[in-house]
Structure 1
Amino acid sequence: MAFDITIADLGDLVRGAALLGTGGGGDPAIGHTLVAEALRDAGTITVIDPDELSDDDFVIPTALMGAPSVLVERLPRGSEPVDALRALERHTGRTATATMPIESGGINSTIPLFVAAQLGIPVVDADGMGRAFPELQMETFAVYGVNGSPLAIADEHGHTAIVNTVANNKKMEDWARALTIKMGGVGYIAEYGMDGAEVRRTAIPRTLSLALRLGRTIREAREHHRDPVEALSELLPETLYHRGEVIFSGKIVDVERTTVEGFTRGKARIAGFGDEPECTVDFQNEYLVARIGDETRVLVPDLITILHLETGEPITAETLRYGQRVRVFAISTPEMMRTPAALETFGPAAFGLTEDFVPFERLARTGVR
């Protein structure tokens, strides 16, 4: 069912999107600012359910590409994602009837909202990751048969380029990544153009409305002096994500972070408040694996989020700092992201991890060493 996004909704939406973003997907404050500015002129943005698309609607997802740590220093001019969408329209000879996120995240859930406000088109309540991943082929769109290219990419100077690798979505990622690095580490893209029937078949549905619910749940729990994480754990069984729970609480004692080949890579070490072993969380833009001592507790594609201990606010990988008191919160990923084809695309092996994927709800009982 369609609904409208207003400025009053943005705080909850970017908070919930950052939670689903698993540490990546860009700075939520930047996303909030961009959309708020656009809404001052547009008033509202319409979000439509995937089931409301006709088969021949043409949907062009839009997003930011690059290292989130670079974005902190290189704010967007504002026209870049629209430039990318227009370039893809010119190349394909088709006009977008809607846009959509490629992933959930603090800025990549909001880039399509910004584009929609600028162009007066709706946003589809769905995305291609159900969380955030660092590479463009890691989409349910690709897993279930949609080509990502042709892709359009734009920078803050008005430059655009088209990448067309036909059915090779990994090569599309590689070439677009090279262009992003040449653009200074951040670019804005339009890709995976598809019709309404393909959206319904391949996208993870209703993730924007879920982000709004999650962010509202955290805020309202604080307002009613409830534990936000307890409130989240109660909400998630009502959703495609089924389960969420705290696996560790403690203080961040070290963060290693570097920008390599267009990604922010690193590791956070979290010391517990008792005698338990440390928790370590590895990331490549997004959190990928959480271990307690030598025991693996959560593996990609299940979601790892790091939340402020008292407020429940999600903390992105680029804003992790020594001394933060946090909880590591695990969320089970939707079943369409646990199929053999999906795990081949964005399971542990895709990130060089040697463990086989085991759902975190099973790891919580048994552990894997």
Structure 2
Amino acid sequence: MREITADHMKDMARGAAVLGTGGGGDPYIGRLLAQQALERNGPVSLVDVDEVPDDALVVPTAFMGAPTVMVEKLPSGEETIRALRALEELLGRPVTHTVSIEAGGVNSMIPFVAAAELGLPLIDADGMGRAFPELQMLLPTLGGIRATPMALADERGNDLTLRTVDNAWAERLARSATVEMGCSAAVSLYALTGAQVKEHMVRGTMTLCERLGTTIREAARSHADPVQAATDVLGGRRVFTGKIVDVRRGTAAGFVRGDAVLDGLDEDTGHSLEFAFQNENLVVRRDGEILASVPDLICVLDTDTGEPVTTEFLRYGLRVSVVVAPCDPRWRTPEGLALAGPGVFGYDHPYVPV
């Protein structure tokens, strides 16, 4: 266990946005929410998975919806507390720990808000090892754990609880409710025991976020290559460096969907690259050839600074590098690919591991 203060948030949010593969929310917004909660309430205890009692009640917290909406409709953090309390009331016993449902600039920071405001320890883990657009796309789903009962809360004071027959229906009904709540809502779901956290979550995610963010910052400060430094931490490879020449993006049904086109620079001059996204980056092609796709990580970083570029901030003229990295091995199983592989998003090409 170690104490996490507001001073840790900038590096953690940066690294979380890298792992978020374009989604998971704006790291600046996430950092501000977490910093304010920590400054107001003091540090949060970050505990290792093995420190969690098997009978603990662990409730994740997050935001659901389109990341573009949160740029204009800023969350207060109060929605998160109401969602967690609503689920706690439904479960009939007090929550003992919270945890991140996914990596991302907002969704890795929201659990710090809940932990600081409610005095809960935060587990050093998450449910994906990256970010995915739909709430059934978690490793606990592969372990047979139900997403519901779950609770949603919006900024107007509306709270909603759901029980569904399976996790796909939880996504479907919660997405509809989120759209009615303004395409952004706090959620609390996937109530877990400590034993289930140990078996089904990705260990060490918060520590990896901090390491990634620190590595990028220190590389940029020392005039080293921050993109390569981040690539080394991820265990991936840089596949393209270029300038964004086209972005098509729209918000519909609670998602941000679109694609971007890059013209190559440096050693990639004369080549082009295209990647498509649904909140998160889904597939990347170089000169029409598929280089990587979900569930592996496709990360877009500013070439000069190494800062992660989320899908809502893609714009013409931005010079970026595209890095791909392997996902958690459980996503590469037949069951994992059936839940979050390329075919789930409508692509007919086979999965080719990074």
Answer yes or no: same fold by TM over 0.5.
yes
The aligned amino acid for 2:285 is: R
Counterpart in the other structure of 1:367: none
Whether 1:224 and 2:222 are equivalent positions in the alignment is: yes
Structure 1 residue 270 corresponds to structure 2 residue 262 = yes
- Once the two structures are TM-superposed, the CA of residue 153 in structure 1 deviates from its matched residue by 0.3
Query: What are the equivalent positions in structure 2 for 1:132-171 lying under 5 Å apart?
Result: 132-166=131-165, 168-171=166-169
1:276: Cα distance to partner?
A: 3.1
How far apart in 1 are the matches of 2:58 and 2:109? Answer: 16
Cα distance in structure 2, aligned partners of 1:262 and 1:234 = 34
The CA deviation at 1:229 is: 2.0
Contact 2:86 2:151 in 1 (8 A): yes
For 1:83-109, what per-residue CA distance to the aligned partner results, in whole angstroms no more than 9, with x for missing partners?
A: 000000111102110111110000000
Instruction: Give the Cα separation in 1 of the matches to 2:254 and 2:43.
Output: 34
Does residue 107 of structure 2 align to residue 96 of structure 1?
A: no
- The runs of at least 4 aligned residues of structure 1 exceeding 3 Å deviation read none
**SS of the counterpart of 1:98?**
coil
Match of 2:236 in 1: 244
Query: What is the rounded CA distance, in whole Å, between the counterparts of 2:331 and 2:276 in structure 1?
Result: 20
The alpha carbon displacement at 1:324 in A equals 0.2
Given the two structures, how large is their TM-score scaled by the length of structure 2?
A: 0.98
Distance 1:265 1:293 in 2: 21
Q: Deviations over 1:270-291 (max 9, x none)?
A: 0112543310010000000000
Find the counterpart in structure 2 of residue 287 from structure 1.
281
Q: 2:270 is paired with a residue of what secondary structure?
A: coil
Partner of 1:66: 65
Q: Within the alignment, does 1:322 sit opposite 2:320 as a pair?
A: no
Task: Name the % identity.
Answer: 48
1:297 pairs with 2:291: yes
**Alignment partner, residue 189 of structure 1:** 187
Counterpart selection for 2:343 from 334, 349, 352: 349
Q: Where do 1:117-128 residues align within 5 Å?
A: 117-128=116-127
Match of 1:51 in 2: 50
SS across alignment from 1:131: coil
- Is 1:20–2:14 an aligned residue pair? no
Distance 1:59 1:19 in 2: 25
The answer to whether the Cα contact below 8 Å between 2:77 and 2:110 also exists between their aligned partners in 1 is no
Aligned to 2:136, what secondary structure does the other structure show? coil
Aligned length: 352
Give the Cα separation in 2 of the matches to 1:230 and 1:136: 31
2: distance between equivalents of 1:343 and 1:147? 19
Q: Output the aligned Cα RMSD.
A: 1.0
Structure 2: gaps of 5 or more residues: none
Residue 226 of structure 2 aligns with an amino acid whose one-letter code is P
Give the structure-1-normalised TM-score: 0.94
